[in-house]
Amino acid sequence: MSPRYVQELLQETGASFTERVLEVRLQKARSMLMSPVDHRSAVGEIAYACGFNEVPYFNRCFRRRLGVSPTQYRGNGHTP
């Protein structure tokens, strides 16, 4: 797959490559926060496992996208 082809696909969705990567990482984090397998993992561990280098940045992105912090999301029992 050429870089140009990927760029064309993303243009069709209206999202940049960076925005799409962030969305995929946040989806993975949501899934991990609600997973029984990861229930003992700290939020920071989940952030790093999803490709975030800084927990505060992860928290900001998560809150901006979902309206609650990762800890609140987990505590409210949201479903993935």
For each of the domains in the chain, give its residue range(s) and CATH number, in order of start.
3-75 (1.10.10.60)
Instruction: Return the pLDDT at 80.
Output: 45
Please check whether residue 76 is in contact with residue 65, taking contact to mean a CB–CB distance below 8 angstroms: no
- For the entire predicted model, the pTM comes to 0.81
User: If you average pLDDT over every residue of the chain, what do you get?
Assistant: 89
Calpha distance 43→54 (Å, rounded): 11
Overall average pLDDT of the 25-53 stretch: 94
Q: Is the per-residue pLDDT at 15 higher than 80?
A: no
Would you state the pLDDT for residue 12? 78
